[in-house]
Amino acid sequence: MPTFVYMTRCDGCGQCVDICPSDIMHIDKSLRRAYNIEPNMCWECYSCVKACPHDAIDVRGYADFAPLGHSVRVKRDEKKGIIAWRIKFRNGKKDMELVAPITTKPWGTAFPKLAEEPAPSKQMRDSQLLFKEPKYIRLDDGDLRSLKTAGLKLKEGVYY
Amino acid sequence: MGYKTIIEDDIDVLVVGAGLGGTGAAFEARYWGQNKKIVIAEKANIDRSGAVAQGLYAINCYMGTRFGENNPEDHVRYARIDLMGMVREDLAFDMARHVDSSVHLFEEWGLPIMRNKKTGTYQREGRWQIMIHGESYKPIVAEAAKKSADKVYNRICVTHLLLDEAKENRIAGAVGFNVRTGNYHVFKSKTVICGAGGASNIFKPRSVGEGAGRVWYAPWSSGSAYGLMIDAGAKMTQMENRIVLARFKDGYGPVGAYFLHLKTYTQNGLGEEYESKWFPELQKMVGKEYLDPELAHRTHRPIPTCLRNHALINEVNAGRGPIHMVTMEAFKDPHLEEIGWHNFLGMTVGQAVLWAATNVDPKYENPELTTSEPYVMGSHATGCGGWASGPEDLSPPEYFWGYNRMMTVEGLFGAGDAVGCTPHAFSSGSFTEGRLAAKAACKYIDDGKANGIVVSDKQINDLKEKIYKPLETYRIYSNEVVAGSVNPNFINPRQGLDRLQKLMDEYCGGFGVNYMTNGNLLKIGMKKLNWLVEDFEKIAAQDIHELLRAWELYHRIRTSECVFQHTLFREETRWPGYYYRGDFMKLDDKNWHCLTVSRRDRKTGEYTMEKAPLYHLVEDKDETAKAS
């Protein structure tokens, strides 16, 4: 569903240009507003729609299989940690609102700085363990699983 | 060309492509290399890049050992049967024994994981999948990667890897260009972790015109992980093992939650169950070891994904289409109905848009399913990718050469789609592979393996010239014609992509030929592809954006070349429902119970193919035990 941009809402801020994973939201040089330069490389991922501070970007289903007259709108709020959707059918018979959380923590706060963690010991370096392991694997005192502890071995050929 | 050359020197760990694999690598590298220089080069913006840009509604790889659910060996057996035996069990076991710790980190970072209210465990969708509110999955993991990396270069299209000139077959970094400024970027690095992703848009998509971007895997997945590694001379494996998906028609919305959680099922256009009637004949093709409906029914051993596709494809060909997903029962429950919609909004909004446009209310009608065009990737129910070393405590000698997830080029590591023979890693497994690769890369550097790397200015300048050539071609020839895109001297990237898709579809087993090919067709296809390789020398780009598309096409072409080689090499039909070798319609364990490995010679462009042995975990036991 290629995205499109409403002329009167876009102020050319470029948030969509910044975020588009497909590099298809560009600023039109004469109008100084954003538009989708390559609709057939649009995945309708809604990244630009969610990023637009002016709700200027919307989506119109792909012309090759989606009839006109529908709407799927979205509002993503990092502060509140939620995303809200509204889906409207072409025939007007369905008008749905759906809300989902996007995070359980205040946005951007819960990330470790690994440079400041105590450095891993040589023993840990020589082991198969990753950061916070083995604790984080099972969240108990169990160790990393190996073929030995599982009583398994790898054998060549077809026999299973 | 007024483009500047910007050199980032002395990098220890360069992450090329920061999707789930690359973000995992950048994050973990900081722990093992606290003083190391870690740099990310990403084609888009890491907050929304890679296959998970749009979000996910489930994490498809979680053992739940903590809740007593599965062990790593259970995952191996599952992935093995689903891939008709063709799995690197060392890599799969290794990923599976670590993957839960990644998921627990995600939860700590704020990813909302649903809980089963009765048991307090994560809400299961199926045996391996847990349900999440994952709209912000990617921005969350990106944040963790950003905290670890020294520098993140967004909007750099990495086109080539650099090779050391002091020691043969050793990595030295990467080059590319900024898709906004056009500047040339050189990353000199001791190690490279390639997370540049699998390939969509190689085979002609079912959608046409404006809808050509509505592919199952993201349109920006340009096979760059493969293109980059093949060019560097890395060995590749299982590249014939493309995947075809049974999905909701046109929108390609996911079916996992529907099948597993909502308990919907499929039927043909007459309202009949159709799968089982194709199984007796199919069993003759693949053998009882791989298809045993009775055993599958009695235990929880799955019917391989490709074989279920086979039934769908054949039922439609028999004239009893379309295949419907029966949703009308499940959607009577308003809670399940809501989940059905959330599932799309969380990861394939386009399907919701399509249903809104066509008034599909699954409560009152059963939506259509179809099989997609094929995709070349390595983290879903398929295992294309690079031939990587396993960990030292698990891997047999043929699978081990010093550093976990290191390719056959020294210092080049991979994660996610880049690593072959590790299907069913999905998002969490790809992230975990990135972490494993990062630890190994740091060890490689600490062991002194990256000392004395030499990259000459010549290598850098030659690549620069090569990269910008399409702009030059356009500048020279575009004014020879009055206007328009038809020019006798060049083709543009879209024209090249169209040609690639058409020939892959027709000669390499796309949807247009019902996934059928044979040796003769493959050889013709390879001849035609070779002309496209030659014509790529004359590709023209009118601006930097088109230059990006040109180099994406290049990676797709390299990938396709390798897919052809592998498909021709494996003389059997291992995965009916993914593709068929018409000249070898049976699965042939006697000759082909092995992995295919290729290598492209950097100088001559010639491929060498070899068979690599397949190792399995001893037993196939637990399946009956789990059923009880």
**Within a domain: residue B33?**
yes
- Domain end call among B342, B371, B400: B371
Per the prediction, chain A carries an average pLDDT of: 95
Same domain, B267 and B342: yes
Q: Do B357 and A96 touch (CB under 8 A)?
A: no
pLDDT in tens, B302-313: 999 999 999 999
Number of H helices, E strands in chain B: 18, 20
Helix B224-231 and helix B544-569, axial crossing angle in degrees, nearest 10: 70
Same domain, B233 and B322: no
pLDDT in tens, B36-92: 999 999 999 999 999 999 999 999 999 999 999 999 999 999 999 999 999 999 999
Q: Among partner residues A22, A112, A154, which is closest to B219 by beta-carbon distance?
A: A22
Q: Do B341 and A66 touch (CB under 8 A)?
A: no
Same domain, A22 and A83: yes
The pLDDT score that the predictor gives to residue B53 is 97
User: Residue A62's domain spans which residues?
Assistant: 3-101
Residue B185 has pLDDT above 70, yes or no: yes
Q: What percent of chain B is predicted at pLDDT more than 70? A: 98
- Determine contact, residues B145/B22, Cβ cutoff 8 Å: yes
User: Taking residues B109-127, what's their average pLDDT?
Assistant: 96
Q: Among partner residues A43, A70, A101, which is closest to B219 by beta-carbon distance?
A: A43
Q: Are strands B38-41 and B151-153 parallel, antiparallel or unpaired?
A: parallel
- What's the gap in Å between the CA of A145 and the closest CA on chain B? 6
In a mutational test of the B interface, the residue from A145, A153, A159 whose CB has the highest number of chain B CBs within 10 Å is A145
- Residue A142 has which token pair? 């169990």
- Domain end call among B419, B446, B473: B446
Ranges of chain A with pLDDT below 70: 1
The pLDDT score that the predictor gives to residue B206 is 96
Same domain, A24 and A67: yes
Please give the full DSSP string across B116-147, using - where no structure is assigned: -TTT-SBPBSSSS-EEEEETTHHHHHHHHHHH
Residue B505 has pLDDT above 50, yes or no: yes
- Domain end call among A101, A125, A142: A101
Q: What percent of chain B is predicted at pLDDT more than 90? A: 95
Taking chain B, what is the end-to-end CA distance rounded to the nearest angstrom? 69
Tell me if the bond preceding B613 is cis, omega within 30° of 0.
no
By CA distance, what is A145's nearest residue in B? B97
Answering whether pTM is above 0.95, one says: yes
Same domain, A86 and A48: yes
Q: Cite the DSSP H helix spans in chain A.
A: 15-19, 47-51, 122-126, 135-138, 147-150
Same domain, B172 and B77: yes
**Among A43, A62, A89, A131, the one annotated catalytic:** A43
pLDDT in tens, B611-620: 999 999 866 6
The pLDDT score that the predictor gives to residue B624 is 44
Same domain, A29 and A87: yes
Same domain, A80 and A118: no
pLDDT in tens, A59-79: 999 999 999 999 999 999 999
**Within a domain: residue B379?**
yes
Q: Are strands A57-59 and A3-5 parallel, antiparallel or unpaired?
A: antiparallel
Same domain, B203 and B123: yes
Same domain, B156 and B9: yes
**Within a domain: residue B559?**
no
pLDDT in tens, B339-379: 999 999 999 999 999 999 999 999 999 999 999 999 999 99
What separation in angstroms does the CA of B438 have from each of B148, B187, B373, B410, B516? 12, 17, 34, 14, 40
- Residue A69 has which token pair? 């007259």
CA–CA gap between residue B48 and residue A21 (Å, rounded): 6
Q: Cite the DSSP H helix spans in B453-543.
A: 457-477, 493-507, 519-536
State ipTM.
Answer: 0.97
Chain B residues lying within 8 Å of A2, measured CB to CB: 210, 213
Chain B residues lying within 8 Å of A66, measured CB to CB: 211, 250, 353-354, 357-358
- List of residues 6+ apart from B499 with CB closer than 8 A: B491, B532
**Within a domain: residue B606?**
no
The pLDDT score that the predictor gives to residue A85 is 98
Same domain, B252 and B366: yes
Same domain, B320 and B208: no
CATH (domain of A86): 3.30.70.20
Token pair 């995070």 is at which residue? Answer: A103
The pLDDT score that the predictor gives to residue A160 is 72
**Within a domain: residue B543?**
no
Q: Do B47 and A19 touch (CB under 8 A)?
A: yes
Total tally of structural domains belonging to chain A = 2
In a mutational test of the A interface, the residue from B109, B574, B593 whose CB has the highest number of chain A CBs within 10 Å is B109
Same domain, B201 and B255: no
User: Residue B326's domain spans which residues?
Assistant: 246-371
Per the prediction, chain B carries an average pLDDT of: 96
- Residue A85: active-site member: no
Residue B622 has pLDDT above 60, yes or no: no
CA–CA gap between residue B442 and residue B555 (Å, rounded): 28
Total tally of structural domains belonging to chain B = 2
Residue B627 has pLDDT above 80, yes or no: no
CATH (domain of B360): 3.90.700.10
pLDDT in tens, B199-250: 999 999 999 999 988 999 999 999 999 999 999 999 999 999 999 999 999 9
